Amino acid sequence: MKIERLTEPICSVGESPVWRAGEAALYWVDIPARRIYRLHAESGKTDSWTADEMVACIAFDASGELIAGMETGIFHLNLLPDGVVTSRPLAAPMWPMAGMRFNDGRCDRQGRFWAGTMHMDMPAAHAVGALYCYDKTQGLIGPVVDGLLTQNGLAWSPKGDRMYLSDSHPRKQLIWSFDYDGATGITSNRQLFVDMNQHPGRPDGAAVDVDGCYWICANDAGLLMRFTPEGKLDRSISLPVKKPAMCAFGGSGLDTLYVTSIRPQSEADLCEQPFAGALFALRPGTQGLIETEFGTNA
């Protein structure tokens, strides 16, 4: 399968790719660099904006502005010309300890923004992360799930009646599924979906296709894996980097799978995978789903 590199290795931790159909553009973030990127699909032109603090996950609202899980809370962001970002705080959890930030997040099928938190010192393995929901009318709800080390893998089934969540920390490496009530935003019946300890790599960012299959970036293994709704691995695609971070469907037919990646810190790893930190694209032979904008169906 052809895997195309779309950018130079510009990201330290590339995350949260989101396809914006009206612009025919992909947005994503580099968390430690506090940067938001945009790639125009036709021209290949890349633009960027730098925020005041780390941006971990983003979603659009109907106006084309962003809601973002950041270092100190959830913010409304406006991307202005010349790389300027203006921000307005929306909500923040009661942080259980210093050194926290948001991590992976996206909107459910009804336009609620879900995002999880983590402690930034991963080797310390503080299980203080949690999953929250930010609703346009109710504000911040949660923690809905707590006791997480490194929250990741948020996604919803095509009908929105199932939610996925993972913990990508080396001590966990688990993916769960929940029954999801779209009318109320209430989760129930938490079950183990995939034990990634039985597969290579850790479960990082995810996407769901039109068949309801769950695509997960297998961090540290350099793989994209697709699991059926029953939790069976049915595809595994090798990537040119060891640390794919998150994937998202886009393109005019939603048939392109974009993959962000993480740039290693050691010189040996950089020599082995010089394009780590780049954005990649492939066509896996299936289609994705349009991401619901914040507040649109609430």
Which residue did the predictor score with more confidence, 1 or 88? 88
DSSP state at residue 292: P
Cα gap 275→273, rounded to integer Å:
6
Cα gap 7→14, rounded to integer Å:
12
Mean pLDDT over the full length of the chain:
96
Tell me the catalytic residues.
Answer: 204
Q: State how far the alpha carbon of 38 is from the alpha carbons of 13, 41, 46, 148, in Å.
A: 15, 9, 6, 30
pLDDT at 267 over 80: no
In a domain, 297, yes or no: no
The helix/strand count (H/E) of the chain reads as: 1, 24
In a domain, 119, yes or no: yes
pTM of the model: 0.96
| Predicted confidence band of residue 250 (pLDDT cuts 50, 70, 90) | very high
pLDDT at 298 over 70: no
Q: What is the CATH number of the domain that holds 243?
A: 2.120.10.30
| Domain coverage including residue 250 | 3-282
What pLDDT is stored for residue 269 in this prediction?
Answer: 73
pLDDT at 253 over 70: yes
Q: Is the dihedral of CA 46, 59, 16, 24 positive or negative?
A: negative
In a domain, 295, yes or no: no
In a domain, 154, yes or no: yes
In a domain, 292, yes or no: no
268-294 pLDDT, tens digit each: 777 788 999 999 999 999 999 999 999
94-112 pLDDT, tens digit each: 999 999 999 999 999 999 9
Cα gap 109→197, rounded to integer Å:
30
pLDDT at 264 over 90: no
In a domain, 53, yes or no: yes
In one-letter notation, the amino acid at residue 60 is F
Q: Are 187 and 163 in contact (CB under 8 A)?
A: yes
Residue range 42-71: mean pLDDT, rounded: 96
In a domain, 28, yes or no: yes
Cα gap 92→94, rounded to integer Å:
7
Q: Look at the chain and report how many structural domains it folds into.
A: 1
pLDDT at 2 over 70: yes
Question: Percentage of the chain surpassing pLDDT 90?
Answer: 93
What pLDDT is stored for residue 137 in this prediction?
Answer: 92
Half-sphere exposure of 125 (CA within 13 A, CB side): 7
What pLDDT is stored for residue 21 in this prediction?
Answer: 93
In a domain, 117, yes or no: yes
| Predicted confidence band of residue 146 (pLDDT cuts 50, 70, 90) | very high
| Predicted confidence band of residue 297 (pLDDT cuts 50, 70, 90) | low
Helix (H, G, I), strand (E, B) or coil at 226: strand
For the record, the structure tokens of 166 come out as 């993972």
What pLDDT is stored for residue 8 in this prediction?
Answer: 95
Cα gap 278→109, rounded to integer Å:
29
